């Protein structure tokens, strides 16, 4: 009997475009997941795959410009959050299916506001499940589903390996987009002071003058780089970069803790530290990063599936 492959697609906002690349990479080597467990953007990308809308989703993602993804949402401030994501998800409503009717087993992981527990949505609308799983607290409206108010599953299980196992996966491939967090490393190391630089004599004509000018220009460039680095280090953390870093650090530690109790057979940890959560316009780059990450473990994955 063929082994069942479970694919776990973790949280990560715009970084989640890398999940598209992982799915493309699997197709290139002739492997299809039997089970997908997704959290947040992982539930969104995995959801478009299981309902047969990944091509449309990828085209949509590649056409986005800076901040244009937010234009698909509706600013609707109320007690539940700032932005209503329903209009964006409704764009794919025509492809929607019920989870129980899929040929690939699917679960979208969310967090219950009432209990704090993680909730695996395994029935009903795929689109509604993905929306609940990716409802970032405060920013996006929480979603009422099955009598519960649900928010982003990253609060409870950012890479839900346990659910892939529970659905019958023999081999689990997990994609953790928060393994390398966007920490504020500019505050981590002291900036070395440049060596004392004496004023250069007036340049002489001819070759020696050109060399002297090159040296002075180089010194000036070094000075400017040190001044810039010092200015960055002396600046206090900004509100949004602090929030981004805090969320990344939290998800990194939570994902590590969960991986110790529910380890995958293969863990993909693409370095996405340069990816802001709002970098929706970098789909081309992130999709390729995911495809490359999958290719790097191709041999290991094929061996596990054949063994």
The set of catalytic residues is: 40, 152
What is the three-state SS of 160-180?
A: CHHHHHHCCCCEEEEECCCCC
Integer angstrom CA distances of residue 236 from 10, 74, 186, 226:
31, 32, 10, 18
CA–CA separation, 14 vs 42, rounded Å?
A: 10
Six token digits for residue 289: 């990063």
Q: Identify the residue whose tokens are 């995911």.
A: 290
Which DSSP symbol is given to 108? Answer: E
CA–CA separation, 57 vs 95, rounded Å?
A: 11
Q: Identify the residue whose tokens are 């899929």.
A: 102
Six token digits for residue 61: 């993602």
Six token digits for residue 268: 């993909």
């Amino acid at each position: 009997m063929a082994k069942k492959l479970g694919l776990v697609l973790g949280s990560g906002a715009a970084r989640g475009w890398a999940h598209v690349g992982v799915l493309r990479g699997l197709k290139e080597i002739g492997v299809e997941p039997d089970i997908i467990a997704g959290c947040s953007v992982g539930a969104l990308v995995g959801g478009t795959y299981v309902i047969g809308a990944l091509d449309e989703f990828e085209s949509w993602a590649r056409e986005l410009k800076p901040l244009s993804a937010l234009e698909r949402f509706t600013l609707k401030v109320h007690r539940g959050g700032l932005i209503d994501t329903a209009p964006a998800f409704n764009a794919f409503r025509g492809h929607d299916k019920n989870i129980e009717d899929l040929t690939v087993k699917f679960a979208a992981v969310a967090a219950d506001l009432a209990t704090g527990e993680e909730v695996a949505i395994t029935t009903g609308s795929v689109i509604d499940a993905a929306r609940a799983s990716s409802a970032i607290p405060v920013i996006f409206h929480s979603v009422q589903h099955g009598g519960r108010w649900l928010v982003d599953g990253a609060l409870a299980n950012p890479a839900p390996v346990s659910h892939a196992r529970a659905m019958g996966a023999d081999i689990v491939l997990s994609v953790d987009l928060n393994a390398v967090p966007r920490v504020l490393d500019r505050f981590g190391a002291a900036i070395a002071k440049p060596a004392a630089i004496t004023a250069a004599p007036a340049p002489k004509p001819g070759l020696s003058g050109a060399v002297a000018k090159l040296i002075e220009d180089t010194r000036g460039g070094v000075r400017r780089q040190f001044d810039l680095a010092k200015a960055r280090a002396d600046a206090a953390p900004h509100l949004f970069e602090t929030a981004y870093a805090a969320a990344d650090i939290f998800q990194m530690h939570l994902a590590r803790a969960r991986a110790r109790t529910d380890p995958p057979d293969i863990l993909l940890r693409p370095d996405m530290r340069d990816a802001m959560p709002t970098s929706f316009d970098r789909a081309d780059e992130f999709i390729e990063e995911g495809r490359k990450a999958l290719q790097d473990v191709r041999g290991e994955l094929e061996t596990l599936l054949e063994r």
